[in-house]
Chains A and B, each alone.
Chain A
Amino acid sequence: MTAHYLVLSGLLFAIGALGVLIRRNAIVVFMCVELMLNACNLAFVTFARQHGNLEGQIIAFFVMVVAAAEVVVGLAIIVTIFRTRRSASVDDANLLKY
């Protein structure tokens, strides 16, 4: 029964991880991270259903709160970079290397 949801969650996670690796815009990269967190939530809720306990559902709420906090911090950082460089591309930020 719950297998489909797990497959979906795995797919979402993979799409998110792939997006982080191949996309160039910091905002899109960040959205892909959020997609990965949502995949986690789906997995937690599915397993909660499967095991018949509420722990997984409660965790999902905590993850949402943490994700919201992460958005605040992340957007602040990305917007600051954008104002300085007029670009949110992760390729342009290349001063720190070697």
Chain B
Amino acid sequence: MNGVIEAPTIEYGALAPLLLVFGAAVLGVLVEAFAPRYLRRAIHMPLTLLSLLGAFALVIVTVVKGDLAETAAAMGAVAIDGPALFIWGVVLILSAVCVLMINDEGHFVASAAAVPGSSEEEEAEAAGSEHTEIYPLVLFAVGGMMLFPASNDLLTMFVALEVMSLPLYLLCGLARRRRLLSQEASMKYFLLGAFSSAFFLYGAAMIYGFAGTVSLTGISKALGTSGLLDPLLMIGLALLGVGLLFKIGAAPFQAWKPDVYQGAPTPITALMASGTLVAAVGAVLRVFWVGLGNLDWNWRPVMWAVAALTMIIGSVLAITQTDIKRMLAYSSIAHAGFLLIGVMATYDKAGQNSGSLSAILFYLLVYSLTTVGAFAVVTLVRDPGGEAWHLSRWAGLGKRSPVLAGVFAFFLLAFAGIPLTSGFFGKYAVFTAALGSGMESGDSLGGWMTGLVVLGVVASAVAAFFYVRVIVLMFFSEPAADGPTIAVPSMGTVAVITVALLVTVGVGLFPQPVLDLANQAASGLFIR
């Protein structure tokens, strides 16, 4: 308040990947404004893909150079540390892969403003137009996904949350087929998302009232000096938790996930199911480990209940689903529960936390790539009216198209965590970290953590049941006479499925290089 405002120092070099993605997004908007319609796609696709790959290259360069800053960049707003760089890398790979899928014809609406079934819509479709705003919107969402887990204060985190979510709300409503479902998904996601981010913000306000700052470092310091049972702090903790847990789709805030995943265009579902989950888990870790780490005796019991409930709801309700996308959504809820087990696996000595952190990072990488692959397969199985979502339509797919069904079966086995797939090592790493942290404390916590891991294993077994049920349906039942057609996959979709399959098989057979990478990223923990 002394009236002198000093210019902030911004570490442009360290922030370059983020700036590149946002810069390309802004350029994309300009392309939308000035380029003629027939050229837009041809400009957008290379621009989007090159910026994502360029940002990935910049992340690699930063990692190889290896001299990470000890303090957060941009005046303490953005923490670019090992975990953040790892998550950036994962998000950029995922989004580049999803963009290949998004680029396929026929996923997005010809004219979003035309009422479904109207003559305007027919005209727009006859003219062959398709919204190209998709590309800059995806880039903005990806930029938000990168900033969200790297933000080191609650304001940056809130802005990142919105930058990530707002484009996704719109993208959800742009499916070409079944537009009513798509629009409904968009509205539900928007209203619930806005509701939950208001909770996040009020939580941030309460914590600001407690600590006098919103920087996670400052909050952590304030926790060290004052009483831990301040009502403002407790309210803030609860409300922040609601906002963050909504984003990862943990129970009891999971209701939006099946609806939105079903209604959204499948490439966008793939982006949300992978990128948003990765980013949100990163943000949860940063808030609960860096900002509120000293408070773990307060949030662990609640997190325990949330993790348990999430796993149970995810795996039990998935059994009853008859729609492939909804089933994958419930499976994603169950996996969010497994990840929360990892979030709880904190140790008293900070140095040991890196084991849990690397387990979570590894899990995020393998799970998200398998998810993208699974949704890519879903885009290929088609009925005359669009993708064939109903599970009964998938009966006998193994006889009709053994390769596609085999690949999908493999992804499902990876979700279930069968050995020799990447999913097995992900679950194993997270469960081991949780057991270790329970043992270390040597008191009642040990029993609770063991109980949670046992629950996790049981939930995995229940989940395995419905994954295997789909496999049985595909391979051991007769295909219907008027069964779905298998679309000839474009180069992009082939590339997506190949990458996902290679990672799932490769990491399943040789997990060590990726584990090493995750260990290295986690070794320095989060900077403060």
Q: How large is the interface on B (under 10, 10 to 19, 20 to 34, 35 or more residues)?
A: 35 or more
Number of A-B contacts (CB under 8 A): 127
Chain B residues with CB below 8 A from A17, complex form: 195, 198
Task: Establish whether residues A80 and B183, one from each chain, have CB atoms under 8 Å apart when the complex forms.
Answer: yes
Residue among A33, A37, A44, A83 making CB contact with B115, cutoff 8 Å = A83
Known: A39-B202, A70-B162. A96 touches B262 (CB 8 A): yes
- B127 interface contact, C-beta 8 A: no
A98-B202 Cα distance, complex, nearest whole Å: 31
Q: Render B164-189 as a binary contact track against A, CB cut-off 8 A, 1 for contact.
A: 00100110010000011101111110
Separation in Å of the A71 CB from the closest CB of chain B? Answer: 10
Give the residue name and chain of the B residue nearest to A35 (CB). Answer: B198
* Docked-complex contact B194 and A78, CB < 8 angstroms: no
Contact A43 B186 (CB under 8 A): no
Question: In the complex, A43→B259 CA distance in Å?
Answer: 34
Closest Cβ of chain A: how far from B115's Cβ, in Å?
5
Q: Is the CB of A59 within 8 A of B183?
A: no
Verify A96–B188 contact, CB threshold 8 A.
Answer: yes
Contact B259 A73 (CB under 8 A): no
Q: Which of B205-213, B462-470, B514-522 forms contacts with chain A?
A: B205-213
Residues B124-167 near A (CB distance < 8 A) = 155, 158-159, 162, 166
Q: Is B190 an interface residue (CB 8 A)?
A: yes
Residue of A nearest to B213 (CB): A55
Q: Is B365 an interface residue (CB 8 A)?
A: no
Residue on B nearest A46 in the bound complex, by CB = B209
In whole angstroms, what is the CA distance A17 to B258 when docked? Answer: 23
> What chain A residues lie within 8 Å of B113 (beta carbons)?
80
Q: Which residues of B contact A63 (CB under 8 A)?
A: 158, 201
For chain A, the count of residues having a C-beta within 8 Å of the partner chain is 49
B214 contacts A36, CB within 8 Å?
no
Give the residues in chain B near A93, CB-CB below 8 Å: 183-184, 187-188
B1 close to A (CB within 8 Å): yes
> For residue B202, which residues in chain A have a CB less than 8 angstroms away from its CB?
13, 36, 39-40, 43
Q: Is the CB of A44 within 8 A of B205?
A: yes
CA gap between A37 and B259 in the complex, in Å: 25
Residues of A within 8 A of B186 (CB): 77, 80-81
Residue of B nearest to A6 (CB): B209
Task: Give the interface centre of B112, B116, B184 by most chain A CB atoms within 10 Å.
Answer: B184
Tell me whether B263 is interfacial, beta carbon within 8 Å: yes
Secondary structure dominating the interface of B: helix
Contact B208–A59 (Cβ < 8 Å): yes
Q: Is A22 an interface residue when CB atoms closer than 8 A count as contact?
A: no
Task: State the Cβ distance, A82 to closest chain B Cβ, in Å.
Answer: 10
Complex alpha-carbon distance, A20 and B180, angstroms: 23
On chain B, the residues within 8 Å of A73 by CB distance are 166, 169-170, 190
Contact A81 B259 (CB under 8 A): no
Interface pair B194/A66, CB less than 8 Å apart = no
Inter-chain contacts of A26 with B (CB < 8 A): 187, 191
Instruction: Specify the chain B residue showing the minimal Cβ separation from A83.
Output: B115
What is the 8 Å Cβ interface bit string for chain B, positions 211-238, against chain A (1 contact, 0 not)? Answer: 0111000000000000000000000000
Q: Would you call A37 and B201 a contact (CB within 8 A)?
A: yes
**Are the CB atoms of A95 and B184 closer together than 8 Å?**
yes
Residues on A with beta carbons closer than 8 Å to the beta carbon of B1: 52-54
Contact B198 A96 (CB under 8 A): no
- Among B112, B181, B199, B201, contact of A80 (Cβ-Cβ < 8 Å): B112
- A22 → chain B closest CB, angstroms: 13
A96 to B256, CA, bound (A): 10
Whole-angstrom distance between the Cβ of B282 and the nearest chain A Cβ: 20
Verify A84–B208 contact, CB threshold 8 A: no
CB closest residue in chain A, given B112:
A80
Best-surrounded residue of A36, A52, A80 (most CB of chain B within 10 A):
A80
CB distance from A83 to the nearest CB of B (A): 5
- Contact sample, A vs B, 12 pairs, CB 8 Å cutoff: A17-B195, A20-B191, A26-B187, A33-B195, A36-B195, A36-B199, A43-B205, A73-B169, A84-B115, A93-B188, A96-B184, A96-B262
- Which residues of A line the B interface, CB within 8 A? 6, 9, 13, 16-17, 20, 26, 29-30, 33, 36-37, 39-40, 43-44, 46-47, 50-56, 58-59, 62-63, 66, 69-70, 73-74, 76-78, 80-81, 83-85, 90, 93-98
